[in-house]
Structure 1
Amino acid sequence: MWKVIIRRVLLMIPQLFILSILVFFFAKLMPGDPFSGLIGPHTDPHEVEALRRAAGLYDPWWEQYLRWLGHAIHGNLGMSYNLHEPVTTVIGQRAVNTFWMSLLSGILTYLIAIPMSIVAARNEGKWQDQLWLTYNSITFGIPPYVFYL
């Protein structure tokens, strides 16, 4: 059992490295930069340019990646330019609510799914089974983003 755990942990290291490269490059492909949102009608362009130089946005991509990776490994995810707080603080503030929402969602899912499965299994081929089968087919066929509209 320990061999399986160690092997999976060791396989996770290159996967995380590849994922970090993908995240970095997809972030670089997005239009604009972290300071584009700060530009307004009264913003001094030289001020924004100084911020870009201070952040190292004109350095070669590999220097930017290694700097980003080093900071991320040490837990420094940078500053939120909108909230003017460290990103780790912002994530930490929201993590508690995310945990409780996930827990409640899981509990509600099982409170509905287990009785529904029992009713469908006890009434196989009857109208109750067909009702739950239809309900599941419809709800699984709806994309999740529809609920956010």
Structure 2
Amino acid sequence: MHVAIPLYPRFTALDAVGPYTVLAFAPGFTVTFVAASPGPVPDDRGGSGLTATASLADFGAEPVSDRVVVDGRVVTAAGVSAGIDMALALLARVSDAETARAVQLAIEYAPEPPFDAGSANGAPADLRERALGLIA
């Protein structure tokens, strides 16, 4: 199976490295990093699902609030930890759940965030604005 991990302006390294790490443990996966054009990705500042969601419609995609979205052959995720969730779910689909669980254990992925502030859904407007100010 061939997996393409897109690189885009304001992506964070973990957006790409998290899913890559999961899939690197999976036999039969070829993982490629892709960008819209050759060369460095412009703007090396961090980005997240907060900034990407607004621009999805510009490319004809429908923004949704789900952490992991499966749409035919395309699987997407909304943020750093969701990228790891996506890769584990994809691995379970094409391999089996036991393999995905073994990889989750191998990378010691057991998220326990100290705050309930990991999604724009339900976050107060002032917190969303502050977060966007950090990554804009």
Fold conserved between structures, TM > 0.5? no
Classify the TM-score, shorter chain.
Answer: under 0.3
Q: TM-score, normalised by structure 2?
A: 0.22
